[in-house]
Amino acid sequence: MIASISPASSKWKNWLLGAQIVGAAAFFSLPQFGLGAYWLDVLNAVGISAILALSLNIILGHAGMFHMGHAAFFAVGAYTTAILNTRLEWPIFATMPFAGMAAGIFAVAVASPIIHLRGDYLLMVTIGIVEIVRIALINNVFGLTGGSNGIIGIARPVLFGFRIARPQHFFCLIWGFAALSMLLFYWLEHSRYGRALKYIKEDSVAAEGMGVNTDRYKLSAFVIGAVWAGFVGTIYASKMRTISPGSFSFWESVVLFMIVILGGSGNQKGVLLGAFLVSGLPELFRGLQNYRMLVFGAALVLMMIFRPQGLLPPKTRNYTLPEPLAGKFP
Amino acid sequence: MIILSLKTLVKSFGGLVAVAGVSFDVERGDVVGLIGPNGAGKTTVFNLITGALRPDGGDIFFDGHRIDRGKPHQIVKLGLARTFQTIRLFAGMSVLENVLSGYHCRMGSGIVSSLLRLPHQRREERVALTRAMEELEFVGLADVWRAKAGGLPYGDQRRLEIARALATEPKFMVLDEPAGGMNDQETYELRGLIGRIRKRDITIMLIEHDIGFVMKVCSKLVVIENGAIIAEGVPEEIQRDPKVIEAYLGVDD
């Protein structure tokens, strides 16, 4: 019985890997095949949701902390970029590390006191955080955020003298960053660090009892997720050129939360699929107008009844033992 | 040499005094059994030692450190590992990953080296896998390293908890009812395993209800009742102690 959990045959694995590479290549050449600006914009929006959801996945999917305020970190990053760019005329990419840092510092400040809270209580507090941020932005906090009108006239990003302005340019930037994020997060997941988060999710008392500093890991998961959301904020601000508090509402946080849960929390591919379904699919049914949200809501209810673990739940990780152990224990 | 020293430990929950001034020392190399009737405060003493609970009063010294204000993960790192009374494995994870959790505190790779998969991080992972497999071989579970921990038979889960605790490279282990739920054969094998752990210069303290097991395994016994020590000594003495017979085994008419 136990032997049946042997790794999938390598031939099938190679096929799967090949299909994934071909699929990714086809996806990245979409702009070349004359996909219209509208659909590129939809894909760009999906891409931004996907990276945000991937960063939320570290907090929610791996560490198992119910965090429904991810739009707050996204907002801090976007506003940092907007302020540094419009007031100090910093180039967009120069603001990116600072957007990430600002979101990370904000995460330390707001998450430290609540990190020990249990699931449902944490959820309520994080909802509070995203509302506080939105209201602070509307109230023109520090006289820098421009109130409910937000900040206008954010510059386009320039990379090695190339001005990123058209949808196909942003397509490459956003999905390139998504691919990089997936690679780095994959490595993070498959490390001592990622394992520690999974122990905490499974049983935080046992994790602490086995020597995992649970408080520190929970907080650092928040910080990584926040820093990444801050980076996405930079891309978003320069793509939209205008940002306002309305873009960072509680609803945005809910959508990201749904993407992770629906797709399969803890599994990158699931989260990616979730991003396409939750923020891409409604565009396909624009013709149905208001009914599309009804269909969407019904689909969510059915999902939670019949497949609560998400569309693609995470698989148990496969380890390759170093020699000579690998030969001894197949 | 004394490795663990409890000095007038007190812990109460609301109005209930669970531990009322418990003091005793553990010599390095001993196998100490903590016994007593149900509700005597044995598991509370364990939780105080491992940092899961904070005492209301008293001190705990372990290997030259004061640990009664420490957090569990800090105490593990000092070399004091535990198993749980109700098995607390990471049930959804593999046997190997469970043991790796113990070795976690002996590793150093952080966020950046993990995000970028730096060479020293990969080296450390290989060492961790080797160490984890050593402990699985030690308890006899190396063949099922891929299996899900939650799917193992009960006795194997108990042994896996011991392997996980051993992977923290402890000087001292506290085992909360290690033979609980085991059949005679498994209990017999557990005695052998505890003997082999002792040979690795690891001091052991255990709670166990199976008196026959305790008498054979332990070199010293501490008997508590209602949160206080009523007797302390080698098993043969404890067996003859009238107070113990009365409190623990019941009075003969």
Domain assignment present for A122: yes
pLDDT value for A2 = 41
Does B164 sit within 8 Å of A329, measured CB to CB?
no
pLDDT of residue B210: 86
Q: Is residue A29 part of a domain?
A: no
**What mean pLDDT is predicted for residues A140-164?**
89
Least CB–CB distance from B115: residue in A184, A212, A321: A184
Per-residue pLDDT tens listing for chain B (253 residues): 999 999 999 999 988 999 999 999 999 999 999 998 888 899 999 999 999 999 999 999 999 999 999 999 999 999 999 999 889 999 999 999 999 999 999 999 889 999 999 999 999 999 999 999 999 999 999 999 999 999 999 999 999 999 999 999 999 999 999 998 888 999 999 999 999 999 999 999 999 988 889 999 999 999 999 999 999 999 999 888 888 888 766 655 5
Return the number of other C-beta atoms located less than 10 Å from residue B231's C-beta: 20
From CA A78, how far away is CA A99, in angstroms rounded? 7
What residues in chain A have their Cβ under 8 A from chain B's Cβ atoms? 2, 5-6, 184-185, 187-188, 191-196, 198-199, 202-203, 205-214, 220, 224, 316-317, 319, 321-322, 325, 328-329
Q: Judging by DSSP bridges, how do beta strands B31-35 and B57-62 pair with one another? A: unpaired
Measured CA to CA, the distance from residue A158 to residue A153 in angstroms comes to: 15
Asked whether A211 and B76 are in contact (CB, 8 A), the reply is: yes
* pLDDT of A1 above 60: no
pLDDT per position as a tens digit, B178-213: 998 888 999 999 999 999 999 999 999 999 988 889
Helices (H), B35-118: 42-49, 72-78, 95-103, 111-115
Residue A128: inside a domain, yes or no? yes
The answer on pLDDT for A295 being more than 50 is: yes
Residue type, A278: V
What is the least distance, in Å, from the CA of B109 to any CA of chain A? 7
Mean pLDDT of the region A7-29: 78
User: Is the CB of B116 less than 8 angstroms away from the CB of A192?
Assistant: no
Least confident of A49-53, A225-229, A258-262, A294-298: A294-298
Distance to chain B for A119, nearest Cα, Å: 18
Give how many domains chain A has, as a whole number.
1
Q: How far is A328 from chain B (nearest CA, A)?
A: 9
Sheet holding B16-27, edge to edge: B16-27, B2-13, B57-62, B65-66
Q: Chain A: residue nearest B147 by CA?
A: A2
Long-range contacts of residues B196-202, Cβ cutoff 8 Å, at least 24 apart: B196/B138, B197/B162, B197/B166, B197/B173, B198/B29, B198/B31, B201/B28, B201/B29, B201/B171, B202/B166, B202/B170, B202/B171, B202/B172, B202/B173
Q: 3-state class of A151 per DSSP?
A: strand
How many whole angstroms separate alpha carbon A151 and alpha carbon A241? 8
How far apart are alpha carbons B172 and A195 in whole angstroms? Answer: 25
- What pLDDT, on the 0 to 100 scale, is given for residue B248? 66
CA distance A213 to A158: 42
Any domain includes A74: yes
pLDDT tens for A103-134 read: 999 999 999 999 888 888 999 999 999 999 99
- Cβ distance A192 to B117 less than 8 Å, yes or no, reads no
The answer on pLDDT for A72 being more than 90 is yes
Nearest residue in chain B measured CA to CA from A197: B101
Q: Quick check: A203 and B88 in contact, CB under 8 A? A: yes
**Does residue A6 register a pLDDT over 50?**
no
Contacts of A328 in chain B (CB under 8 A): 142
Cis peptide before A167 (omega within 30 of 0): no
Q: What span, in angstroms and rounded, lies between the C-alpha atoms of B124 and A192?
A: 9
Residue A27 lies in a domain: no
Q: Quick check: A90 and A84 in contact, CB under 8 A?
A: yes
Residue A211 within a domain: yes
Residue A213 to chain B, least CA–CA distance (Å): 6
Domain that holds residue A225: 36-249
Domain for residue A240, yes or no? yes
Asked if the structure places residue A199 within a domain, the reply is yes
Distance CA B233, CA B30 (A): 12
pLDDT in tens, B77-111: 999 999 998 899 999 999 999 999 999 999 998 89
ipTM of the complex: 0.93
Q: Collapsing DSSP states into helix, strand and coil, what is residue B221? A: strand
| Residue B67 near residue B50 (C-beta atoms within 8 A) | no
